[in-house]
Structure formats: C-alpha cells, structure tokens
Amino acid sequence: MKADPSAQVRLLDLQDLDSRADQLRHQRRTLPELERLVDLSRMRERIEGQAQDARIAVDDLTAEQTKVDADVEQVKARRERDQQRLDQGLVSNPKDIQRMQQEMVSLERRITSLEDDEIEVMERLEEAQVALDKLTGELTGIDAQIVEVTQARDTRLAEIDGSLAELEVQRGPVSAELPGDLVALYDKLRETKNGVGAALLRARRCSGCMLDLDNAELATIRGAADDDVIRCDECSRILVRTAESGL
C-alpha cells in the first residue's frame, strides 16, 4: 500500500484522537460511581428484606397485643359484672355466692396471667419496632446515598460524553483528509490491536508493541520508498516513519 508520507504522519493524529476517545469510553464503563451504585443497590435489597421481615413481626405482634388486650378487658368486664351482682345483692343463694366468689378468684388469676402476657407482648413489640425503625433509618440513608451517587455519575457521564463529542468533531476532518484505503486498514487493525492501528517508529522501536526492530527489519524499512506503508513484523501495526525513527 502507498500513502503520502505526510498522510502517514497525519494518521498518528487520528490515532491520538481515537486513543483519547478509547480512554474516555473506558472511564465511562468503569466509573467508580457505577460500582458504588451496584453495591448500594445490593445493600438496599438486603436491608429491605430485613425490614420487610421486621414489618411482618411488628404487624403480627400488634395483632397479638390487640387480642391480649381484648382478652384482658373481656375477663375484667366479667369480673366487674359478677362483683356488681354481689354488691347489689342480686345473688342470695349461699351456694351461688360461694360459687361466684370462687369464680372471681379464678378470674383474678386469669387477669394476672393475661396482663403478664400483655407486658411480654408489649416488650417484644417494642423491640421489634426499634429494629424496624433502625432498618427504616438505614434505608433512608442508603436512598440518600443513591441519589447523591447517581447525581455524581450523571455529571461525570455528561462530562465524558461532551469530551467524546468534541473528539468526534475533531476526528471528522482528520479522517476525511486521509486516503480511504489507509483509514480502512487503520480501522481494521484497531479492532484487533487493542485500539492501536498506527504507531510511531521511534528510536528503532515500534511504539505499538514496544519492541525493538532487528537489523534485518530496519534494513528493509530503510530500503522502502517514502510513500510505502510499513507494517511492524511483530504486531502488524502501521509503522509511521519520522525524523525520530533512528533510521
């Protein structure tokens, strides 16, 4: 392949623009905010699961407390009703009076037992509510972090996209002034050579693979015409010759 020496040197400018764009695209893919958002999302999912379990526990204990409260009130109401009947003299039969007094003693024991259950449930409910409040607070904090990191990510992405757009604007004229077959070869090499299709031959070393050229290869390059497009024997990239090449 033939290409004017100035076009070959200009190809290095295209490579520089493309390398800078590749670096920006790499930054875009590997922003620390992206990884942080993944971590926060996983953390939120885990804590949300714990909070859901805590909410179920609070609901169950609330229902249990409501039932115990109702049982206590029901037994107390029965005790008061029996006491009123006795106080008002509505029961006159000694055996009935004795039976009701014994029943009231039993009701008193039942109330004591239910009130103990009531206190236990209240304590468990309080502990469950504290746990739920703690998890809810953690979720609120994580949500705030997600908002903050998302804003930072979006800002950084906008900056990178702006820089990429500027490089694309600069690339257009440079690519347009180069021979089409040279650009086609360069683009093909970029796809398989880690984004580097053209490299400067500096001090007898390929700046693409960073290997020194042997004497035989250097002799071949010295004998080539100025407009010959030279390829590195090691990495196959386009080698661009300048005064720095050491030939």
Domain range for 35: 31-172
Domain stops at, among 172, 202, 229: 172
The model's pTM is 0.75
9, 95: one domain: no
37, 121: one domain: yes
- pLDDT tens, the chain, 247 aa long: 999 999 999 999 999 999 999 999 999 999 999 999 999 999 999 999 999 999 999 999 999 999 999 988 888 888 888 788 777 877 777 887 788 788 888 888 888 888 888 999 999 999 999 999 999 999 999 999 999 999 999 999 999 999 999 999 999 999 999 999 999 999 999 999 999 999 999 999 999 999 999 999 999 999 999 999 999 999 999 999 998 888 7
Half-sphere exposure (Cβ direction) of 20: Cα atoms closer than 13 Å: 16
Collect contacts of 139-148 with beta carbons under 8 A, ≥24 apart.
139/44, 139/47, 139/48, 139/51, 142/40, 142/43, 142/44, 142/47, 143/44, 145/40, 146/37, 146/40, 146/41, 146/44
205, 93: one domain: no
